[in-house]
Chain A
Amino acid sequence: MRALEVIGVEKSFGGNKVLKGISFGVEEGETVGIVGPNGSGKTTLLNVIGGVIRQDRGRVLAFGKDISSRRPSERARLGIGRTFQITRLFSNLTALENVMIALHYGSSLPATKEKALEILEEVGLSHKAKDRASSLSLAQRKRLELARALALQPRVLLLDEVFAGLNPVSIKEIVDLLKRLREERRITLILAEHVLKALFQLTERVLVLSEGRLIFDGRPEDMAQNEEVIKAYLGERYVGKGS
Protein backbone atom coordinates (compact mmCIF):
# COMPACT_ATOMS: atom_id res chain seq x y z
CA MET A 1 0.00 0.00 0.00
CA ARG A 2 1.13 3.52 -0.61
CA ALA A 3 2.13 5.19 2.61
CA LEU A 4 1.86 8.62 1.12
CA GLU A 5 0.60 10.15 -2.05
CA VAL A 6 1.00 13.80 -2.97
CA ILE A 7 -1.14 14.92 -5.86
CA GLY A 8 -0.69 18.22 -7.65
CA VAL A 9 0.16 20.25 -4.61
CA GLU A 10 0.59 23.98 -5.10
CA LYS A 11 1.37 26.65 -2.59
CA SER A 12 2.23 30.29 -2.81
CA PHE A 13 3.07 32.90 -0.23
CA GLY A 14 1.67 36.25 -1.25
CA GLY A 15 2.23 35.89 -4.98
CA ASN A 16 5.43 33.94 -4.59
CA LYS A 17 4.75 30.45 -5.94
CA VAL A 18 6.77 28.09 -3.80
CA LEU A 19 5.33 24.73 -4.82
CA LYS A 20 4.21 24.20 -8.38
CA GLY A 21 2.17 21.08 -8.99
CA ILE A 22 4.12 18.54 -7.01
CA SER A 23 3.04 14.92 -7.35
CA PHE A 24 4.67 11.74 -6.15
CA GLY A 25 3.94 8.62 -4.18
CA VAL A 26 5.86 6.76 -1.52
CA GLU A 27 5.45 3.06 -0.79
CA GLU A 28 5.21 1.80 2.72
CA GLY A 29 8.66 1.10 4.15
CA GLU A 30 10.36 3.06 1.43
CA THR A 31 12.90 5.81 2.13
CA VAL A 32 12.89 8.92 0.02
CA GLY A 33 15.28 11.84 0.06
CA ILE A 34 14.20 15.30 -0.95
CA VAL A 35 16.98 17.59 -2.04
CA GLY A 36 17.20 20.86 -3.85
CA PRO A 37 18.69 24.30 -3.65
CA ASN A 38 17.97 26.52 -0.71
CA GLY A 39 14.54 27.97 -0.95
CA SER A 40 13.33 25.40 -3.44
CA GLY A 41 10.41 24.42 -1.27
CA LYS A 42 11.49 21.32 0.62
CA THR A 43 10.46 22.53 4.01
CA THR A 44 7.25 23.88 2.62
CA LEU A 45 6.48 20.53 1.10
CA LEU A 46 7.06 18.74 4.40
CA ASN A 47 4.90 21.33 6.10
CA VAL A 48 2.09 20.65 3.68
CA ILE A 49 2.35 16.92 4.28
CA GLY A 50 2.48 17.44 8.04
CA GLY A 51 -0.44 19.84 7.86
CA VAL A 52 1.25 22.87 9.39
CA ILE A 53 0.68 24.67 6.10
CA ARG A 54 -2.47 24.20 4.09
CA GLN A 55 -1.86 23.82 0.35
CA ASP A 56 -3.65 26.09 -2.10
CA ARG A 57 -4.39 23.27 -4.47
CA GLY A 58 -3.86 19.52 -4.63
CA ARG A 59 -4.31 16.68 -2.20
CA VAL A 60 -2.34 14.61 0.23
CA LEU A 61 -3.23 10.97 0.87
CA ALA A 62 -1.88 8.82 3.64
CA PHE A 63 -2.47 5.08 3.48
CA GLY A 64 -5.18 5.71 0.98
CA LYS A 65 -6.99 8.22 3.14
CA ASP A 66 -7.38 11.81 2.00
CA ILE A 67 -5.91 13.90 4.77
CA SER A 68 -5.77 17.18 2.86
CA SER A 69 -7.96 19.01 5.31
CA ARG A 70 -7.03 17.28 8.55
CA ARG A 71 -5.45 19.13 11.42
CA PRO A 72 -1.77 18.45 12.02
CA SER A 73 -2.69 16.74 15.26
CA GLU A 74 -4.97 14.31 13.50
CA ARG A 75 -2.27 13.53 10.99
CA ALA A 76 0.15 12.95 13.81
CA ARG A 77 -2.19 10.45 15.33
CA LEU A 78 -2.63 8.77 11.97
CA GLY A 79 1.06 8.07 12.22
CA ILE A 80 2.80 10.95 10.50
CA GLY A 81 5.64 12.13 12.71
CA ARG A 82 8.06 14.90 11.90
CA THR A 83 11.00 17.02 12.93
CA PHE A 84 11.58 20.68 12.19
CA GLN A 85 14.48 22.24 10.37
CA ILE A 86 14.71 24.96 12.96
CA THR A 87 13.94 22.96 16.03
CA ARG A 88 10.67 23.56 17.81
CA LEU A 89 10.97 21.97 21.20
CA PHE A 90 8.92 22.67 24.29
CA SER A 91 11.80 24.69 25.57
CA ASN A 92 10.78 25.14 29.18
CA LEU A 93 10.13 21.49 29.71
CA THR A 94 12.73 18.82 30.26
CA ALA A 95 13.86 16.50 27.51
CA LEU A 96 11.91 13.74 29.18
CA GLU A 97 8.71 15.74 29.32
CA ASN A 98 9.11 16.67 25.69
CA VAL A 99 8.94 13.03 24.79
CA MET A 100 6.20 12.27 27.29
CA ILE A 101 3.86 14.73 25.64
CA ALA A 102 4.15 12.94 22.35
CA LEU A 103 3.32 9.75 24.20
CA HIS A 104 0.33 11.26 25.87
CA TYR A 105 -2.17 8.80 24.58
CA GLY A 106 -0.34 6.13 26.47
CA SER A 107 -1.45 4.71 29.76
CA SER A 108 -0.49 5.84 33.24
CA LEU A 109 2.09 8.50 33.94
CA PRO A 110 4.81 6.23 35.37
CA ALA A 111 4.50 3.90 32.42
CA THR A 112 4.71 6.84 30.04
CA LYS A 113 7.81 8.05 31.79
CA GLU A 114 9.49 4.72 31.40
CA LYS A 115 8.62 4.56 27.74
CA ALA A 116 9.95 8.09 27.22
CA LEU A 117 13.22 7.19 28.87
CA GLU A 118 13.58 4.23 26.56
CA ILE A 119 13.16 6.43 23.54
CA LEU A 120 15.68 8.95 24.82
CA GLU A 121 18.08 6.10 25.33
CA GLU A 122 17.49 5.07 21.77
CA VAL A 123 18.55 8.47 20.37
CA GLY A 124 21.42 8.72 22.82
CA LEU A 125 20.06 11.49 24.98
CA SER A 126 19.22 9.75 28.24
CA HIS A 127 21.95 11.64 30.07
CA LYS A 128 20.08 14.87 29.32
CA ALA A 129 16.63 13.59 30.32
CA LYS A 130 16.25 15.99 33.21
CA ASP A 131 17.69 19.00 31.40
CA ARG A 132 15.53 21.68 29.96
CA ALA A 133 15.22 21.55 26.22
CA SER A 134 16.38 25.16 25.95
CA SER A 135 19.76 24.30 27.41
CA LEU A 136 20.61 21.68 24.82
CA SER A 137 23.14 22.22 22.10
CA LEU A 138 22.06 22.22 18.51
CA ALA A 139 22.79 18.58 17.89
CA GLN A 140 21.17 17.51 21.11
CA ARG A 141 18.07 19.40 20.12
CA LYS A 142 17.96 17.57 16.84
CA ARG A 143 18.14 14.28 18.63
CA LEU A 144 15.39 15.29 20.95
CA GLU A 145 13.17 16.26 18.05
CA LEU A 146 13.75 12.85 16.61
CA ALA A 147 12.93 11.21 19.91
CA ARG A 148 9.72 13.17 20.15
CA ALA A 149 8.69 12.16 16.70
CA LEU A 150 9.47 8.53 17.45
CA ALA A 151 7.31 8.63 20.52
CA LEU A 152 4.30 8.93 18.28
CA GLN A 153 5.01 5.44 16.95
CA PRO A 154 4.92 6.88 13.48
CA ARG A 155 4.44 4.92 10.32
CA VAL A 156 5.74 7.81 8.28
CA LEU A 157 8.55 9.98 9.50
CA LEU A 158 9.23 13.38 7.95
CA LEU A 159 12.73 14.56 8.74
CA ASP A 160 13.75 18.10 7.86
CA GLU A 161 17.51 18.33 7.81
CA VAL A 162 18.17 16.09 10.78
CA PHE A 163 21.82 15.81 9.91
CA ALA A 164 22.59 19.48 9.60
CA GLY A 165 24.95 20.58 12.32
CA LEU A 166 25.74 17.05 13.42
CA ASN A 167 29.30 15.94 13.47
CA PRO A 168 30.25 12.77 11.62
CA VAL A 169 30.06 10.61 14.72
CA SER A 170 26.56 11.73 15.48
CA ILE A 171 25.54 11.39 11.89
CA LYS A 172 26.65 7.79 11.91
CA GLU A 173 24.67 7.11 15.06
CA ILE A 174 21.51 8.61 13.64
CA VAL A 175 21.91 6.83 10.33
CA ASP A 176 22.22 3.55 12.15
CA LEU A 177 19.23 4.34 14.28
CA LEU A 178 17.09 5.13 11.27
CA LYS A 179 18.19 1.99 9.52
CA ARG A 180 17.23 -0.05 12.51
CA LEU A 181 13.84 1.61 12.80
CA ARG A 182 13.17 0.97 9.18
CA GLU A 183 13.93 -2.66 9.57
CA GLU A 184 12.16 -3.23 12.85
CA ARG A 185 9.04 -1.20 12.26
CA ARG A 186 8.85 -0.74 8.54
CA ILE A 187 8.72 3.01 8.99
CA THR A 188 8.50 5.07 5.86
CA LEU A 189 11.17 7.79 5.88
CA ILE A 190 11.11 11.07 4.03
CA LEU A 191 14.18 13.22 4.50
CA ALA A 192 14.78 16.72 3.28
CA GLU A 193 18.52 16.93 3.41
CA HIS A 194 21.64 18.69 2.24
CA VAL A 195 24.10 16.30 3.85
CA LEU A 196 24.12 14.01 0.85
CA LYS A 197 26.71 11.61 2.19
CA ALA A 198 24.41 10.71 5.02
CA LEU A 199 21.37 10.67 2.83
CA PHE A 200 22.83 8.30 0.31
CA GLN A 201 23.54 5.76 3.00
CA LEU A 202 19.86 5.53 3.61
CA THR A 203 18.04 5.92 0.39
CA GLU A 204 17.66 4.48 -3.03
CA ARG A 205 15.37 7.19 -4.28
CA VAL A 206 15.83 10.93 -4.41
CA LEU A 207 13.45 13.70 -5.38
CA VAL A 208 15.00 16.94 -6.51
CA LEU A 209 13.10 20.16 -6.15
CA SER A 210 14.06 23.31 -7.90
CA GLU A 211 12.10 26.51 -7.65
CA GLY A 212 9.11 24.60 -6.49
CA ARG A 213 9.14 22.09 -9.29
CA LEU A 214 9.99 18.42 -9.11
CA ILE A 215 12.83 18.10 -11.60
CA PHE A 216 14.11 14.66 -10.80
CA ASP A 217 12.85 11.45 -9.26
CA GLY A 218 15.20 8.51 -9.29
CA ARG A 219 18.32 6.81 -8.02
CA PRO A 220 21.11 8.84 -6.45
CA GLU A 221 23.62 7.64 -9.01
CA ASP A 222 21.50 8.93 -11.84
CA MET A 223 20.97 12.18 -10.05
CA ALA A 224 24.67 12.98 -10.08
CA GLN A 225 24.60 12.57 -13.85
CA ASN A 226 21.55 14.68 -14.47
CA GLU A 227 22.53 17.96 -16.11
CA GLU A 228 19.65 19.90 -14.73
CA VAL A 229 20.25 18.72 -11.21
CA ILE A 230 23.91 19.52 -11.43
CA LYS A 231 23.21 22.99 -12.62
CA ALA A 232 20.49 23.72 -10.11
CA TYR A 233 21.79 22.00 -7.08
CA LEU A 234 25.04 20.13 -6.93
CA GLY A 235 27.38 22.50 -8.60
CA GLU A 236 30.20 21.45 -10.90
CA ARG A 237 32.67 20.76 -8.19
CA TYR A 238 30.55 18.17 -6.48
CA VAL A 239 30.42 16.18 -9.63
CA GLY A 240 34.12 16.58 -10.08
CA LYS A 241 34.73 15.11 -6.66
CA GLY A 242 32.57 12.21 -7.56
CA SER A 243 30.47 10.33 -5.07
Chain B
Amino acid sequence: MARLEKVIFIFFAVLAVLPLLLPDWPYWGRVLSSALMLSSLALAQNVLLGYTGYPAFGGIAFFGIGGYTTAILMKSYSVPFLPSLLVGGMVAGFTALIIAPPLMRLKSHYFAITTLALQLALGEVVANLEFTGGTDGINLPIYRGPFEGYFFHFMFLFLALISFLINLWVDRSVFGYALKAIREDEVAAESVGVNTVLFKSFSFGISSFLTGLVGGVYAYWITYIDPTSMFDPLLSVKTFVALLLGGVGTTIGPLLGAFLLEMVSEIVWSGLTEVHGIILGLLIVLGILLVPRGILGVR
Protein backbone atom coordinates (compact mmCIF):
# COMPACT_ATOMS: atom_id res chain seq x y z
CA MET B 1 0.00 0.00 0.00
CA ALA B 2 2.65 2.43 1.05
CA ARG B 3 4.48 1.81 -2.20
CA LEU B 4 1.35 2.44 -4.20
CA GLU B 5 0.97 5.76 -2.48
CA LYS B 6 4.45 6.76 -3.54
CA VAL B 7 3.36 6.05 -7.05
CA ILE B 8 0.55 8.51 -6.54
CA PHE B 9 2.98 11.25 -5.68
CA ILE B 10 4.89 10.52 -8.86
CA PHE B 11 1.58 10.67 -10.65
CA PHE B 12 0.94 14.12 -9.23
CA ALA B 13 4.38 15.22 -10.31
CA VAL B 14 3.74 13.99 -13.82
CA LEU B 15 0.47 15.85 -13.93
CA ALA B 16 2.29 18.98 -12.92
CA VAL B 17 4.62 18.92 -15.92
CA LEU B 18 2.11 17.53 -18.36
CA PRO B 19 1.01 20.90 -19.72
CA LEU B 20 4.51 21.29 -21.16
CA LEU B 21 4.40 17.97 -22.91
CA LEU B 22 0.93 17.47 -24.22
CA PRO B 23 -0.05 18.79 -27.61
CA ASP B 24 -3.59 20.02 -27.97
CA TRP B 25 -3.52 21.44 -24.46
CA PRO B 26 -6.85 23.28 -24.30
CA TYR B 27 -8.56 19.98 -24.90
CA TRP B 28 -6.46 17.91 -22.53
CA GLY B 29 -6.45 20.69 -20.03
CA ARG B 30 -10.19 20.50 -19.87
CA VAL B 31 -10.25 16.73 -19.55
CA LEU B 32 -7.57 16.63 -16.89
CA SER B 33 -9.15 19.44 -14.96
CA SER B 34 -12.45 17.58 -14.91
CA ALA B 35 -10.76 14.42 -13.76
CA LEU B 36 -8.84 16.21 -11.03
CA MET B 37 -11.96 17.99 -9.92
CA LEU B 38 -13.84 14.74 -9.65
CA SER B 39 -10.91 13.22 -7.79
CA SER B 40 -10.96 16.00 -5.23
CA LEU B 41 -14.69 15.63 -4.75
CA ALA B 42 -14.42 11.87 -4.38
CA LEU B 43 -11.55 12.22 -1.94
CA ALA B 44 -13.49 14.75 0.07
CA GLN B 45 -16.45 12.42 0.27
CA ASN B 46 -14.13 9.58 1.13
CA VAL B 47 -13.24 11.25 4.39
CA LEU B 48 -16.87 11.19 5.29
CA LEU B 49 -18.17 7.98 3.77
CA GLY B 50 -15.04 5.90 3.65
CA TYR B 51 -13.72 6.64 7.09
CA THR B 52 -16.71 7.88 9.03
CA GLY B 53 -19.43 5.84 7.35
CA TYR B 54 -21.74 8.71 6.47
CA PRO B 55 -22.83 8.89 2.85
CA ALA B 56 -23.49 12.55 2.17
CA PHE B 57 -25.24 11.94 -1.08
CA GLY B 58 -26.04 15.62 -1.17
CA GLY B 59 -22.51 16.67 -0.36
CA ILE B 60 -22.59 18.67 -3.55
CA ALA B 61 -24.65 21.17 -1.58
CA PHE B 62 -21.32 22.41 -0.28
CA PHE B 63 -19.90 22.51 -3.76
CA GLY B 64 -22.75 24.90 -4.49
CA ILE B 65 -22.19 26.92 -1.35
CA GLY B 66 -18.49 27.25 -2.07
CA GLY B 67 -19.10 28.07 -5.70
CA TYR B 68 -21.76 30.65 -5.07
CA THR B 69 -19.90 32.31 -2.24
CA THR B 70 -16.82 32.64 -4.40
CA ALA B 71 -18.84 33.87 -7.35
CA ILE B 72 -20.81 36.44 -5.41
CA LEU B 73 -17.75 37.78 -3.65
CA MET B 74 -15.92 38.16 -6.93
CA LYS B 75 -18.78 39.53 -8.92
CA SER B 76 -20.68 41.71 -6.48
CA TYR B 77 -17.88 42.74 -4.17
CA SER B 78 -14.94 42.54 -6.54
CA VAL B 79 -12.93 40.49 -4.08
CA PRO B 80 -9.96 38.80 -5.77
CA PHE B 81 -10.19 35.14 -6.54
CA LEU B 82 -8.03 33.50 -3.91
CA PRO B 83 -9.54 35.22 -0.88
CA SER B 84 -13.01 34.61 -2.29
CA LEU B 85 -12.20 30.98 -2.74
CA LEU B 86 -10.95 30.61 0.77
CA VAL B 87 -14.03 32.27 2.19
CA GLY B 88 -16.14 30.02 -0.03
CA GLY B 89 -14.50 26.93 1.37
CA MET B 90 -14.82 28.16 4.91
CA VAL B 91 -18.48 29.08 4.56
CA ALA B 92 -19.10 25.57 3.26
CA GLY B 93 -17.06 23.99 6.02
CA PHE B 94 -18.64 25.96 8.82
CA THR B 95 -22.13 25.41 7.51
CA ALA B 96 -21.45 21.70 7.64
CA LEU B 97 -19.99 21.94 11.10
CA ILE B 98 -23.06 23.72 12.36
CA ILE B 99 -25.69 21.48 10.85
CA ALA B 100 -23.80 18.28 11.56
CA PRO B 101 -25.03 17.54 15.09
CA PRO B 102 -28.74 17.35 14.25
CA LEU B 103 -28.22 16.03 10.76
CA MET B 104 -25.84 13.29 11.70
CA ARG B 105 -28.27 11.66 14.02
CA LEU B 106 -29.52 10.09 10.85
CA LYS B 107 -27.67 7.19 9.37
CA SER B 108 -27.16 5.31 6.17
CA HIS B 109 -29.59 6.18 3.45
CA TYR B 110 -31.64 8.42 5.70
CA PHE B 111 -28.61 10.60 6.00
CA ALA B 112 -27.91 10.22 2.31
CA ILE B 113 -31.33 11.34 1.28
CA THR B 114 -31.58 14.13 3.80
CA THR B 115 -28.40 15.67 2.55
CA LEU B 116 -29.68 15.27 -0.97
CA ALA B 117 -32.85 17.07 0.06
CA LEU B 118 -30.68 19.76 1.54
CA GLN B 119 -28.81 20.07 -1.69
CA LEU B 120 -31.99 20.40 -3.73
CA ALA B 121 -33.52 22.79 -1.21
CA LEU B 122 -30.46 25.01 -1.33
CA GLY B 123 -30.66 24.96 -5.09
CA GLU B 124 -34.24 26.13 -4.80
CA VAL B 125 -33.33 28.92 -2.43
CA VAL B 126 -30.57 30.13 -4.66
CA ALA B 127 -32.94 29.99 -7.61
CA ASN B 128 -35.42 32.16 -5.77
CA LEU B 129 -33.12 34.81 -4.42
CA GLU B 130 -32.09 38.04 -6.07
CA PHE B 131 -28.47 38.39 -5.07
CA THR B 132 -27.64 34.90 -6.31
CA GLY B 133 -28.89 35.76 -9.75
CA GLY B 134 -31.90 33.49 -9.39
CA THR B 135 -32.35 30.90 -12.07
CA ASP B 136 -30.40 33.12 -14.44
CA GLY B 137 -27.21 32.27 -12.69
CA ILE B 138 -24.07 34.31 -12.50
CA ASN B 139 -21.41 35.01 -15.04
CA LEU B 140 -18.07 35.28 -13.34
CA PRO B 141 -15.23 37.43 -14.57
CA ILE B 142 -12.93 35.56 -16.88
CA TYR B 143 -9.49 34.70 -15.69
CA ARG B 144 -6.86 36.68 -17.52
CA GLY B 145 -3.45 36.45 -16.02
CA PRO B 146 -0.27 34.45 -15.82
CA PHE B 147 -0.45 30.84 -17.00
CA GLU B 148 -3.76 31.62 -18.57
CA GLY B 149 -4.21 28.22 -20.18
CA TYR B 150 -2.82 26.31 -17.22
CA PHE B 151 -4.12 28.15 -14.24
CA PHE B 152 -7.10 25.94 -13.56
CA HIS B 153 -5.20 22.78 -14.19
CA PHE B 154 -2.82 23.77 -11.42
CA MET B 155 -5.60 24.87 -9.14
CA PHE B 156 -7.36 21.54 -9.47
CA LEU B 157 -4.09 19.68 -9.18
CA PHE B 158 -3.41 21.53 -5.97
CA LEU B 159 -6.85 20.74 -4.58
CA ALA B 160 -6.55 17.08 -5.47
CA LEU B 161 -3.17 16.95 -3.78
CA ILE B 162 -4.49 18.58 -0.62
CA SER B 163 -7.44 16.22 -0.55
CA PHE B 164 -5.17 13.27 -1.06
CA LEU B 165 -2.88 14.35 1.75
CA ILE B 166 -5.83 14.77 4.07
CA ASN B 167 -6.97 11.29 3.18
CA LEU B 168 -3.53 9.92 3.87
CA TRP B 169 -3.50 11.61 7.21
CA VAL B 170 -6.94 10.33 8.14
CA ASP B 171 -5.99 6.85 7.04
CA ARG B 172 -3.00 6.75 9.34
CA SER B 173 -3.77 8.98 12.25
CA VAL B 174 -5.34 8.61 15.62
CA PHE B 175 -8.05 10.95 14.38
CA GLY B 176 -8.73 8.54 11.55
CA TYR B 177 -9.06 5.60 13.92
CA ALA B 178 -11.67 7.47 15.86
CA LEU B 179 -13.58 8.05 12.63
CA LYS B 180 -13.33 4.40 11.70
CA ALA B 181 -14.71 3.48 15.10
CA ILE B 182 -17.69 5.71 14.43
CA ARG B 183 -18.16 4.05 11.09
CA GLU B 184 -18.30 0.63 12.68
CA ASP B 185 -20.42 1.23 15.76
CA GLU B 186 -21.16 4.56 17.33
CA VAL B 187 -22.34 3.28 20.66
CA ALA B 188 -19.21 1.23 21.02
CA ALA B 189 -17.10 4.16 19.91
CA GLU B 190 -18.61 6.33 22.60
CA SER B 191 -17.95 3.59 25.11
CA VAL B 192 -14.26 3.60 24.37
CA GLY B 193 -14.09 7.33 24.75
CA VAL B 194 -14.65 8.72 21.27
CA ASN B 195 -16.86 11.80 21.35
CA THR B 196 -18.82 10.82 18.30
CA VAL B 197 -20.67 14.08 17.77
CA LEU B 198 -17.48 16.07 17.80
CA PHE B 199 -15.53 13.77 15.55
CA LYS B 200 -18.18 13.19 12.97
CA SER B 201 -18.95 16.89 12.79
CA PHE B 202 -15.30 17.54 12.16
CA SER B 203 -15.21 14.93 9.50
CA PHE B 204 -18.25 16.48 7.84
CA GLY B 205 -16.67 19.89 8.15
CA ILE B 206 -13.40 18.88 6.54
CA SER B 207 -15.12 17.06 3.76
CA SER B 208 -17.39 20.02 3.09
CA PHE B 209 -14.58 22.52 3.26
CA LEU B 210 -12.76 20.64 0.53
CA THR B 211 -15.94 20.29 -1.47
CA GLY B 212 -16.56 24.00 -1.11
CA LEU B 213 -13.09 24.83 -2.40
CA VAL B 214 -13.64 22.63 -5.41
CA GLY B 215 -16.93 24.39 -6.03
CA GLY B 216 -15.21 27.76 -5.93
CA VAL B 217 -12.51 26.82 -8.39
CA TYR B 218 -15.10 25.19 -10.61
CA ALA B 219 -17.23 28.32 -10.68
CA TYR B 220 -14.31 30.47 -11.72
CA TRP B 221 -13.21 27.92 -14.25
CA ILE B 222 -16.55 27.38 -15.92
CA THR B 223 -17.41 31.13 -15.64
CA TYR B 224 -21.14 30.59 -15.77
CA ILE B 225 -22.96 29.04 -12.85
CA ASP B 226 -26.62 28.55 -12.16
CA PRO B 227 -28.54 26.66 -9.47
CA THR B 228 -28.97 23.55 -11.56
CA SER B 229 -25.29 23.25 -12.33
CA MET B 230 -24.03 24.00 -8.84
CA PHE B 231 -26.51 21.82 -7.00
CA ASP B 232 -26.63 19.08 -9.57
CA PRO B 233 -27.62 15.64 -8.28
CA LEU B 234 -25.85 14.16 -11.24
CA LEU B 235 -22.58 15.51 -9.93
CA SER B 236 -23.33 13.87 -6.58
CA VAL B 237 -23.84 10.61 -8.32
CA LYS B 238 -20.71 10.95 -10.37
CA THR B 239 -18.70 11.68 -7.27
CA PHE B 240 -19.98 8.61 -5.53
CA VAL B 241 -19.67 6.40 -8.53
CA ALA B 242 -16.04 7.42 -8.81
CA LEU B 243 -15.58 6.76 -5.14
CA LEU B 244 -17.33 3.43 -5.12
CA LEU B 245 -15.71 2.33 -8.33
CA GLY B 246 -12.24 2.97 -7.00
CA GLY B 247 -12.86 1.69 -3.53
CA VAL B 248 -14.33 3.39 -0.50
CA GLY B 249 -12.13 3.79 2.51
CA THR B 250 -8.86 3.63 0.62
CA THR B 251 -6.67 6.58 -0.15
CA ILE B 252 -5.99 5.73 -3.75
CA GLY B 253 -9.36 4.34 -4.74
CA PRO B 254 -11.11 7.68 -5.17
CA LEU B 255 -8.34 9.00 -7.42
CA LEU B 256 -8.33 5.88 -9.48
CA GLY B 257 -12.10 5.80 -9.75
CA ALA B 258 -12.34 9.45 -10.69
CA PHE B 259 -9.77 9.25 -13.45
CA LEU B 260 -11.25 6.06 -14.78
CA LEU B 261 -14.77 7.43 -14.77
CA GLU B 262 -13.82 10.77 -16.25
CA MET B 263 -11.74 9.23 -19.02
CA VAL B 264 -14.44 6.77 -19.90
CA SER B 265 -17.18 9.34 -19.86
CA GLU B 266 -14.99 11.71 -21.90
CA ILE B 267 -14.56 9.06 -24.52
CA VAL B 268 -18.23 8.25 -24.44
CA TRP B 269 -19.16 11.89 -24.43
CA SER B 270 -17.04 12.93 -27.36
CA GLY B 271 -17.59 9.79 -29.37
CA LEU B 272 -21.24 9.18 -28.72
CA THR B 273 -22.61 12.50 -27.61
CA GLU B 274 -26.18 11.52 -28.44
CA VAL B 275 -26.34 8.42 -26.33
CA HIS B 276 -23.85 9.30 -23.64
CA GLY B 277 -26.57 9.44 -20.99
CA ILE B 278 -27.62 5.91 -21.75
CA ILE B 279 -24.07 4.70 -21.62
CA LEU B 280 -23.30 6.55 -18.44
CA GLY B 281 -26.30 4.92 -16.79
CA LEU B 282 -25.25 1.56 -18.07
CA LEU B 283 -21.73 2.07 -16.79
CA ILE B 284 -22.91 2.93 -13.32
CA VAL B 285 -25.16 -0.11 -13.17
CA LEU B 286 -22.57 -2.49 -14.56
CA GLY B 287 -19.79 -0.96 -12.52
CA ILE B 288 -21.57 -1.55 -9.27
CA LEU B 289 -22.72 -5.01 -10.24
CA LEU B 290 -19.29 -6.09 -11.35
CA VAL B 291 -17.10 -4.48 -8.73
CA PRO B 292 -19.46 -3.98 -5.81
CA ARG B 293 -16.55 -3.41 -3.51
CA GLY B 294 -14.62 -1.15 -5.79
CA ILE B 295 -11.41 -1.92 -7.56
CA LEU B 296 -9.32 -1.45 -4.44
CA GLY B 297 -12.19 -2.08 -2.08
CA VAL B 298 -11.51 -3.25 1.40
CA ARG B 299 -14.97 -3.33 2.79
Q: Is the CB of A97 within 8 A of B188?
A: no
User: Is B23 in the interface zone, CB < 8 Å from A?
Assistant: no
Closest to B188 in A: A88
Q: With A88-B188, A90-B184 as known contacts, state yes or no: A97 contacts B177, CB within 8 Å.
A: yes
Nearest residue (CB) in A for B185 is: A88
Q: Which residue of B lies closest to A84 (CB)?
A: B188
Q: Are A101 and B187 in contact (CB under 8 A)?
A: no
> Is B194 an interface position by the 8 A CB rule?
yes
Q: Looking at chain B, what size class is its interface with the partner chain?
A: 20 to 34
Cα–Cα, bound, A149→B195 (Å): 16
Q: Is the CB of B178 within 8 A of A82?
A: no
Known interface pairs A93-B181, A101-B189; 13 further A-B residue pairs with C-beta atoms within 8 A, sorted by A's residue number: A51-B190, A72-B190, A73-B196, A76-B193, A90-B181, A90-B189, A93-B180, A97-B177, A101-B181, A101-B194, A102-B192, A109-B173, A149-B192
Within 8 A of B (CB), among A62-106: 71-74, 76-77, 81-82, 84, 88-93, 97, 100-102, 104-105
Could you tell me if A109 and B187 are in contact, using CB atoms closer than 8 angstroms?
Answer: no
Interface status of A52 (Cβ within 8 A of chain B): yes
Closest to A76 in B: B193
In Å, the complex CA distance between A76 and B196 comes to 12
**Shortest CB distance A99–B (Å):** 9
CB distance from A140 to the nearest CB of B (A): 16
Minimum Cβ distance to chain B for residue A207 (Å): 22
26 contacts between A and B (CB under 8 A): A72-B190, A73-B191, A73-B196, A74-B195, A76-B190, A76-B191, A76-B192, A82-B191, A84-B191, A88-B191, A90-B183, A91-B184, A92-B183, A92-B184, A92-B298, A93-B181, A97-B180, A101-B189, A101-B192, A104-B193, A109-B173, A112-B174, A148-B188, A148-B192, A151-B192, A152-B192
Q: Which residues of B contact A77 (CB under 8 A)?
A: 193
A190 to B: closest C-beta gap in Å: 14
Q: Kindly identify, within residues 18 to 76 of chain A, every residue whose CB is under 8 Å from any CB belonging to chain B.
A: 50-52, 71-74, 76
Contacts of B185 in A (CB 8 A): 88-91
With both beta carbons as reference points, the residue of chain A lying nearest to B192 in the complex is identified as: A102
Interface SS of B by simple majority: helix
- Whether B144 is near chain A, meaning CB under 8 Å from some CB there, is no
Q: Which of B172, B180, B191 contacts A50 (CB 8 A)?
A: B191
Cα A38 to Cα B297 in complex, Å, equals: 42
* Residue from A91, A93, A97, A152 in contact with B193 in the complex, judged by beta carbons closer than 8 Å: A152
Query: Can you name the residue of chain A whose Cβ is closest to the Cβ of B174?
Result: A104
Question: If the complex has contacts A71-B195, A76-B193, A77-B193, are A101 and B180 also in contact, measured as CB distance less than 8 A?
Answer: yes
Contacts of A51 in B (CB 8 A): 190
Could you give, for residues 193-208 of chain B, a 1 whenever the CB lies within 8 Å of some chain A CB and a 0 otherwise?
1111100000000000
CB–CB B193/A100 < 8 A = no
B194 CB to closest chain A CB (Å) equals: 6
With the chains together, A76 CA to B187 CA distance in Å? 12
The residues of A that contact B184 with a CB separation of less than 8 Å are: 89-93
Collect the chain A residues with CB atoms within 8 Å of residue B193's CB. Answer: 73, 76-77, 102, 104-105, 152
**Do B180 and A90 have beta carbons less than 8 Å apart?**
yes
Question: Given A88-B188, A90-B188, A104-B174, is A73 in contact with B195 using a C-beta cutoff of 8 Å?
Answer: yes
- Min CB gap B253→A, angstroms: 15
Residues on B with C-beta less than 8 A from A151 are 192
In the A-B complex, the 9 residue pairs with the closest CB atoms: A90-B184, A72-B190, A76-B193, A102-B192, A88-B188, A73-B195, A101-B181, A77-B193, A73-B190
Contacts of A76 on B, CB cut-off 8 Å?
Answer: 190-193
Bound-state CA distance A174–B15 (Å) is 57
Collect the chain A residues with CB atoms within 8 Å of residue B181's CB: 90, 93, 101
**Which residue of chain A is the closest to B193 with respect to CB atoms?**
A76
Q: Is B3 an interface residue (CB 8 A)?
A: no
Residues of A within 8 A of B178 (CB): 101, 104
Q: Which A residues lie within 8 Å of B172 (CB)? A: 109
B299 at the interface (CB under 8 A from A): yes
Q: Let me know if A109 and B174 touch, CB within 8 A.
A: yes
Question: Of all chain A residues, which has the CB nearest B180?
Answer: A93
Q: Report the bound CA distance from A149 to B193 in whole Å.
A: 10
| Interchain CB contact under 8 A, A92 and B195 | no
With most chain B CB atoms within 10 A of its CB, the pick from A91, A102, A109, A148 is A102
How many whole Å from B71's CB to the nearest CB in chain A?
40
| Residue on B nearest A148 in the bound complex, by CB | B192
**Considering the chains assembled together, what is the distance between the CA atoms of A110 and B298 in angstroms?**
22
Is the Cβ of A73 less than 8 Å from the Cβ of B194? Answer: yes
Contact A72 B180 (CB under 8 A): no
Q: Is the CB of A100 within 8 A of B177?
A: yes
Interfacial chain B residues near A73, Cβ < 8 Å: 189-196
In Å, the complex CA distance between A72 and B184 comes to: 17
